[in-house]
Amino acid sequence: MKPGTLVYDPHTRKVGVYQARIGPAALLRPVGGGREWDADPARIRPATPEERLSAELRAANDRSLGALPTPDPVPGCLTCGELGVRREEARTACDGSAETDANVLLRQHQAREHGGVTAGRRRLFRYVPYSIVQDASAQPEYQAYCVSGDEHDCGATSGPCTDPTDVEEWQRRHTQETRHTRYRRSFADYAVLEGQA
Is the pLDDT reported for residue 123 higher than 60?
Answer: no
Q: What is the pLDDT of residues 17-28, one digit of tens each?
A: 998 888 899 999
Using DSSP's 3-state secondary structure scheme, residue 15 falls into strand
Q: What residues have CB less than 8 Å from 163, skipping those under 6 apart?
A: 142
pLDDT digits (tens, 9 = 90+) for 133-166: 778 788 889 999 999 987 788 989 999 998 889 9
Chain centre to alpha carbon of residue 13: 13
In this model, does residue 117 exceed pLDDT 70? no
